[in-house]
Structure 1
Amino acid sequence: MTDTPAPRIMRSVDDVYGDTFDDQEVEAALNESLSPRSLNQLMFDLVAETGLPPGSTVLDVGAREGRYSFELSRRFGFTVRGVEPVRRHLDNAARDLAAFAIEEPEAAARVRIDEGIAEKLTDPSGSVDLIWCRDVLVHVEDLETAFAEFRRVLKPGGRALIFQMTATDLLSPPEAAFMWPPAGIHATSLDPQRIEAAIAAAGLSIAQCIQLHGETRERLEEDGVATSSKQLLWVSRMLRNRAAYEERFGTIAYEYVLTDSLWGVYQMIGKLNPRIYVLSA
């Protein structure tokens, strides 16, 4: 499957409503699962495939509240430093790390979360075995500098595991202009050609590129989490009742939540295509 839609052909009424295909057969096929993968499990499996031993040094770029930093230490015995620019996330990470230290002191002792950004890392050159960067770089306009920093801090042969949203040709320029500014997202940082050019310019190579399309969203639906179904419902309510929600929560909240909800829906309908890049230094 490519991101470029095929040309559409005008069908006759008989093509559509005649006996060209069996409606029930199509519905039965679409009700069969395609065995979608879980995003968390897929990413942790990719970490396992690196073969890095316990004690390896991991940098979690855009660590938010430390969830994945904690899990990388717990699962693999890694020493993890998270970097995060948002003060609220840093405060919550400190609180959660303190709770983690009570529950699992050995794993917690291997984790720290510091203030920092992708474009200006403080780690020494050649000091990191693995970079974990999940759903962060859409907020970074200067991808060239960010990937150059990744290359600088990685050890020779080190890996970077990047989960990155990309836009497809089904997302129109007006939709992008509507979606991205309220969420602090840079449209150029969702362009796969731009992303891969920045990776190459930094001297990193792409060992794997896994295009997920709506797969992990399907998994959430099939597991009963129904994240995208709920977001679709929210979008309908928000579009019908904007004035009331905006008055109650403010414009910033309204516009962000609308974008965040469309973020999930658009993956399901092909306007967004999340990718996992495994990069090698």
Structure 2
Amino acid sequence: MTDTPAPRVFRSMDDVYGDTFDDDEVEAALNESLSPRSLNELLFDLVAEAGLPPGSTVLDVGAREGRHSFELSRRFGFTVRGVEPVRRHLDNAARDLAALVVEEPEVAARVRIDEGVAEKLADPSGSVDLIWCKDVLVHVEDLETAFAEFRRVLKPGGRAVVYQMTATDWLTPAEAAFMWPPAGIHAGSLDPQRIEAAITGAGLTVAQCIQLHGEARERSEEDGVASSSKQLLWVSRMLRNREAFVERFGTVAYEYVLTDSLWGVYQMIGKLNPRIYVLSA
């Protein structure tokens, strides 16, 4: 699938409703699974491919509440430092880490979560074996500085696994202007050309680029989680019942949840295309 829509051709009524194709055959083909991969398992597999030994130093940029930091320690025996700018996430991470100390003390001993931002990392130069950065950099306007920091802290030959949402040509400027401001998303940070220019400008090499399109969302539907179906239902309800929702929860909540719900739906219909970049220093 390309990110640029193909030119549309006007079809006659016979083309559309005649015997051009078999409806049942098309429907049967669409009901066949494309065997979508689990996003997190794909990301962890890419980490495993780096072949790093236990004790390797990992930086989780945008760690949120520490879930991935904990799992990187648990699965691979890595020493993980997470950095996160949002106070609520930091407080929740501290709570969850305290619980982990009781439940899995060896895992917890290898993890810490600190306040910090991608553009100004506290780690010494050349001190990190691997950077994990999932779904974070859309909130960072200065990608050039962020990737320069990644390059600075990575050891020679170090790797970064970066999951990043990108916009396609199917997303109109009007949709972007409506969607991104309420969620604190910088439109330029979803531009794949700018992302990749910032990567290479920082002296990093793109070892792999995996374009997922709606794959992870398909997996959710096929697993019965149906997160995108649920979000589509929410969008319809929010558009029909805006006044009541705003009165009950406020404008900030309304605008954010609407954007967050469309975030999933737009992946399914080709307006957003998540990518995984594996970078090498």
Instruction: Pick the TM interval, shorter chain.
Output: over 0.9
Residues 35-184 of structure 1 mapped to structure 2, 5 A cutoff: 35-184=35-184
Give SS of 2:274's match: strand
CA distance in 2, matches of 1:98, 1:74: 15
Give SS of 1:213's match: coil
Give the aligned partner of residue 229 of structure 1. Answer: 229
Structure 2: unaligned runs, 5 residues or longer:
none
1:177-198 per-position Cα deviation (integer Å, ceiling 9, x unaligned) = 0000000000000000000000
Give the aligned partner of residue 2 of structure 1. Answer: 2
If the length of structure 2 is used for normalisation, what is the TM-score? 1.00
Give the number of equivalent residue pairs.
281
Matched AA of 2:220 = L
CA distance in 2, matches of 1:252, 1:52: 43
CA distance in 2, matches of 1:144, 1:157: 20
CA distance in 1, matches of 2:93, 2:43: 21
1:247-280 per-position Cα deviation (integer Å, ceiling 9, x unaligned) = 1000000000000000000000000000000000
- The answer as to 2:260 corresponding to 1:260 is yes
1:140-195 per-position Cα deviation (integer Å, ceiling 9, x unaligned) = 00000000000000000000000000000000000000000000000000000000
Cα RMSD after superposing both structures: 0.3
Give the aligned partner of residue 191 of structure 1. Answer: 191
Matched AA of 1:203 = G
Structure 1: unaligned runs, 5 residues or longer:
none
Matched AA of 1:183 = A
Give SS of 1:166's match: coil
CA distance in 2, matches of 1:77, 1:145: 30
CA distance in 2, matches of 1:2, 1:207: 21
Matched AA of 1:191 = D
Give SS of 1:273's match: coil
Give SS of 2:32's match: coil
Give SS of 2:198's match: helix
1:28-78 per-position Cα deviation (integer Å, ceiling 9, x unaligned) = 000000000000100000000000000000000000000000000000000
CA distance in 1, matches of 2:123, 2:139: 21
Matched AA of 2:97 = L
Matched AA of 1:94 = A
CA distance in 2, matches of 1:240, 1:74: 45
Give the aligned partner of residue 210 of structure 1. Answer: 210
CA distance in 2, matches of 1:49, 1:200: 22
Give SS of 2:166's match: strand
Give the aligned partner of residue 29 of structure 2. Answer: 29
Cα displacement (A) at 1:2: 1.2
Residues 12-27 of structure 1 mapped to structure 2, 5 A cutoff: 12-27=12-27
Identity between Structure 1 and Structure 2 (%): 88
Give SS of 1:167's match: coil
Runs of 4+ in 1 over 4 A off after TM superposition: none
CA distance in 2, matches of 1:112, 1:192: 32
1:205-262 per-position Cα deviation (integer Å, ceiling 9, x unaligned) = 0000000000010000000000000000000000000000001000000000000000
Cα displacement (A) at 1:204: 0.2
Give SS of 2:177's match: helix
